[in-house]
Amino acid sequence: MDPVEKKKGKGRKILGVLATLFILLGLYWGLVKAPPDAFQGDVQRIMYLHIPSILTAYLSFFIVFVGSCLFLWKGERRDDILAHSAAEIGVLFTGLTIIEGSIWGKPIWGVWWTWDARLTLTAILFLIFVGYLMLRSLIEDEHRGAVCGAIIGIIGFVDIPLIHMSVYWWRTLHQPPSILRPDKTPWENIDPALLWPLSINFVAFFLLFFYLLSLRIHLGETEYEVKRIRLYGET
Amino acid sequence: MGPWGFVLLAYGIVWSAIILYLGIIKMRLRKAEAEIRLHTGSGHSNHVEEK
């Protein structure tokens, strides 16, 4: 067994255990210990999933952007595997953000969905990266698929600043940001009784993200090895 | 549906989807590692088996 891989596997297991602990702590704090919101009541507890989910999706697509730029610059397979892996996880978390937002929107706004600027741009982000994944699976030429994917990955990332600024540029039903605000820190904007469980869930989602990314990269490398063996045989 | 109905629906969907995705990755990984072992014969691989 390769010692580097053995070390990576051990690190991945530690990351998985840490993520599980923080997820359980986040669930307890978010569902049991945190008080209900003064205006929204218990429904506000969806926030402990919704904000960490979208920020995890943003982080995923930032990694897609970096991996894609590096791949187009250097042409190394590992950068493409990084971008492809992060894109898959980003699609998962963007899809979950849309579902959570819809479930939160129904009791608060009275509708499951509205063509609000932020919601629409988030749906566009989701569709761009679903397209990215479909393209990667449809193009048989590995290198061509990677180049096309990298171009879509870079273009798709441009949607994120638009999503973030949409609540300032257009009149939207969606509230302004609670965390990433230029004028206020989160401590000034959110009561500590709500900010603590939110912070714990941020840590849980980021640990989970890095665990999933590490596992998905390992899968990408292993599947590449399988393809190589099928084409050229064991060397 | 009451407020807790919406909360539990959201938490249920999110964690079910994440566990499902994790299961799919691990299944694909086991399949790929089994194929590498099959081709190399000796069971030696550059990749670590996830347990």
Please judge whether B7 and A45 are an interchain contact, meaning their C-beta atoms are less than 8 angstroms apart: yes
Tell whether A5 is covered by a domain.
no
CA atoms within 13 A on the CB side of A57: 26
Query: Domain ranges in chain B?
Result: 1-39
* Chain A environment of B3 (Cβ under 8 Å): 41-43, 107
Residues 6+ apart with CB under 8 A from B7: A31, A42, A43, A45, A46
Tell whether A208 is covered by a domain.
yes
Tell whether A131 is covered by a domain.
yes
Tell whether A185 is covered by a domain.
yes
What is the token pair recorded at A157?
Answer: 């990332």
As for how many domains chain A has, the answer is: 1
pLDDT of A2 reads 72
Indicate which of A219, A228, A229, A232 best probes the interface with B, i.e. most B CBs within 10 Å of its own CB.
A219
Tell whether A27 is covered by a domain.
no
pLDDT of A145 reads 92
Burial of A148: CB neighbours in 10 Å, binned 0-12, 13-18, 19+:
middle
Tell whether A2 is covered by a domain.
no
Tell whether A103 is covered by a domain.
yes
Distances (CA, A) of A69 to A45, A77, A142, A150, A210: 38, 12, 17, 7, 20
- The residues with which A181 forms a beta bridge, in sequence order, are none
CA angle B7, A103, B6 (to 5 degrees): 25
Please judge whether A215 and B13 are an interchain contact, meaning their C-beta atoms are less than 8 angstroms apart: no
Identify the residue whose tokens are 């479909």: A134
Q: Kindly give the confidence (pLDDT) of every residue in chain A, 235 residues in length, as a single tens digit, with 9 standing for 90 and above.
A: 677 777 788 889 999 999 999 999 999 999 999 999 888 999 999 999 999 999 999 999 999 999 999 999 999 999 999 999 999 999 999 999 999 999 999 999 999 999 989 999 999 999 999 999 999 999 988 899 999 999 999 999 999 999 988 888 887 777 777 776 767 777 777 788 889 999 999 999 999 999 999 999 999 999 988 888 888 776 5
Question: A215 touching B, CB under 8 A?
Answer: yes
Name the residue range of residue A120's domain.
47-232
Contact A83, A155 (CB under 8 A): no
Query: Rounded to whole angstroms, how far apart are CA atoms A69 and A100?
Result: 31
Tell whether A30 is covered by a domain.
no
pLDDT of B51 reads 44
ipTM (interface pTM): 0.89
pLDDT of B12 reads 96
Distances (CA, A) of A19 to A16, A108, A182: 5, 31, 30
Please judge whether B36 and A99 are an interchain contact, meaning their C-beta atoms are less than 8 angstroms apart: no
Question: A11 touching B, CB under 8 A?
Answer: no
